[in-house]
Structures are given as C-alpha cells and as structure tokens.
Amino acid sequence: MPVTIEEDYRENFSSYEPETLQDRMEVLRDDPSEYSELEQEELLNEFIYALDQGDVRAAEQQNDSWEAN
C-alpha cells in the first residue's frame, strides 16, 4: 500500500494511543487484512505522529545490529 504523508497527517487519525502503537503496528505488519484500508491509513498516520513527537523511533535490523531510519 503506497503511503503519502500529507501536511495535515496529524488530523488524519481518530486517537493517539502510544501504549498500544507497537502491538498494532506489528499486527499490521504480520496481517494487514486485520485492518480496513482506512484503519491502516489512520494507524500509519498515528505512527508518523509518534515519530514526529519523538515517542517512537524507526529502525531495522542489519545482521547483528540495528540501524535507525
């Protein structure tokens, strides 16, 4: 699913729940069909908001270490 980051992404999700964000993102990664297309978009916008707030970081594992994105 292509993702477009709009200027108003902060307004494109219904709530911000940092305590469950990781779990919900993992469900989205493992089985996107668990969420409707709208829910996927809202969750990704919430993740972008959390990145913007400094509440989460994005990284990927490269062999035995993690590299920040």
What is 32-69 written as a DSSP string? GGGS-HHHHHHHHHHHHHHHHHTS---EEEETTEEEE-
- What is the pLDDT averaged over residues 13-19? 80
**pLDDT tops 80 at residue 38:** yes
What is the pTM (predicted TM-score) of this model?
0.70
**pLDDT tops 70 at residue 2:** no
Helix (H, G, I), strand (E, B) or coil at 25: helix
pLDDT tier, 36 (very low <50, low <70, confident <90, very high otherwise) = very high
pLDDT tier, 12 (very low <50, low <70, confident <90, very high otherwise) = low
Domain boundaries, the chain: 9-68
